[in-house]
Amino acid sequence: MPDGVPGKARSGAEARLYAARAMREATEAGLTPGELADLLRGGAVTEAVPPWPGEDPDAYADRATSELLTRYLAAGVDDPPPRP
């Protein structure tokens, strides 16, 4: 993890860049748009998994995807996804 504590959700163009990369990576990893919507519960991916200070968008996308897949698997087939 980079120095510092996890960052708060980013806003504006930066947040859109981080979110777009993370969502693309997550769908390429096999999560469907519906599964992502269930996991995020109407929020942004950058709110559910905040970028770390100084984290590169591609590194963030990999880390966010890993976190989302973990949450998906932890939820089980018939259970609602855990709250972030």
pLDDT (tens place) for every residue of the chain, 84 residues total:
444 445 554 568 888 999 999 999 999 999 999 999 999 998 999 999 999 999 999 999 999 999 999 999 887 655 655 555
Phi, psi values for residue 50, rounded to 5°: -65, 140
Q: Does pTM surpass 0.85? A: no
d(CA 68, CA 84): 9
d(CA 62, CA 79): 25
Domain boundaries, the chain: 12-75
pLDDT at 2: 45
pLDDT at 45: 94
pLDDT at 84: 53
pLDDT at 75: 79
